[in-house]
């Protein structure tokens, strides 16, 4: 049986060893030169690093093969570890990408951008972002004031009505619309298809396009809308397109072009592709599962 004196000696020994280790660590840190100065007061944006070309595994057996595999996916492959945890650089990148995703959902498309693109703005029945997140049904309905503005400002009964909506990513709109929208309009006009007046719907869900279709009496309606952001990108946008869309119609009647962003389908290419799809819809008078692309 261990006596009280022996137990005290054991505790003192453990504490002594712990103190010695701590002192050694402190001395090591103090003797290490740390450059905490940031050149020009600027810290590099970690999100600008292309993770498809980044390999954090030390001394990989087949670096060339590993990088080739990373080219096919934006997933975080080859990130290595610090014990059982992520390395600091990986952990910071995940947090930065998560923050960018949150910002894209809760921020608004700027008035300056809408003026630059010559898009007038209407609202859905959502009063703010919180209501937009919690009441998807309100995001599918245009406000009474918005309906009047559309009727007063839009060309009625066009062959193709295009409008823009923030959806779940305002960042996607500001990153892609400058290239997508002109490419679409140019493509449609080249096919001699009449295009309605483009505009912007704030706090809009995909279903709002059905209301827009009924208001404008367009043959084909297309909404360019921000996708739900993830940790790969917060700038991905989709185009939902439907032939003679009506409120409460089946979702299967929509045709979707997704993953529009600089790391997916390039915006200009997407715009030309969407114009081709709209032309096909008008010819075949169908969309969604009824349209074979």
Rounded Cα–Cα distance for residues 107 and 134 (Å): 16
Answer yes or no: is 180 a known binding residue: no
Tell me if residue 258 falls in helix, strand or coil. strand
**In the 3-class helix/strand/coil scheme, how is 218-256 assigned residue by residue?**
CCEEEEEEECCCCCCCCCCEEEEEEECCCCCCCHHHCEE
Is 206 part of any known ligand binding site?
A: yes
Give the chain's length.
Answer: 293
Task: Look up residue 58 and give its two tokens.
Answer: 């030390």
From CA 36, how far away is CA 176, in angstroms rounded?
A: 37
Decide: helix, strand or coil at residue 113: helix
DSSP-derived secondary structure letter, 204: -
Give one DSSP letter per residue of 56-90, joined into a string. -SSS-TTHHHHHHHHTT--S--S---BTTB--HHH
For the annotated binding site for adenosylcob(III)alamin, the residues are 206, 227
For the annotated binding site, the residues are 206, 227
């Amino acid at each position: 049986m261990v006596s009280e004196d022996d137990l005290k000696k054991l505790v003192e020994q453990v504490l002594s060893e712990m103190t010695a280790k701590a002192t050694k660590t402190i001395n090591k840190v103090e003797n290490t030169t740390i450059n905490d100065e940031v050149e020009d007061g600027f810290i590099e944006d970690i999100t600008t690093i292309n993770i498809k070309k980044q390999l954090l595994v030390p001394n990989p057996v087949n670096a060339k093969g590993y990088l080739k595999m990373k080219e096919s996916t934006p997933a975080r492959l080859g990130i290595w570890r610090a014990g059982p945890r992520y390395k600091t650089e990986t952990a910071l990148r995940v947090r930065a990408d998560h923050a960018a995703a949150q910002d894209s959902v809760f921020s608004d498309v700027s008035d300056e951008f809408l003026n630059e693109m010559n898009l007038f703005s209407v609202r859905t029945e959502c009063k703010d972002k919180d209501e937009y997140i919690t009441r998807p049904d309100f995001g599918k309905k245009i406000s009474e004031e918005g309906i009047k503005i559309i009727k007063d400002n839009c060309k009625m009964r066009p062959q193709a009505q295009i409008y823009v909506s923030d959806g779940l990513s305002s960042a996607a709109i500001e990153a892609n619309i400058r290239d997508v929208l002109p490419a679409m309009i140019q493509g449609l006009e080249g096919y001699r298809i009449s295009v309605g007046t483009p505009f912007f719907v704030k706090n809009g869900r995909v279903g709002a396009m059905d209301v827009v279709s009924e208001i404008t009496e367009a043959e084909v309606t297309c909404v360019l809308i921000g996708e739900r952001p993830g940790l790969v990108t917060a700038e991905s946008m989709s185009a939902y397109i439907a032939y003679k869309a009506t409120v409460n119609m089946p979702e299967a009647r929509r045709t979707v072009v997704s993953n529009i962003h600089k790391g997916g389908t390039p915006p200009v290419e997407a715009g030309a592709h969407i114009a081709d799809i709209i032309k096909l819809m008008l010819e075949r008078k169908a969309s969604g599962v009824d349209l074979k692309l």
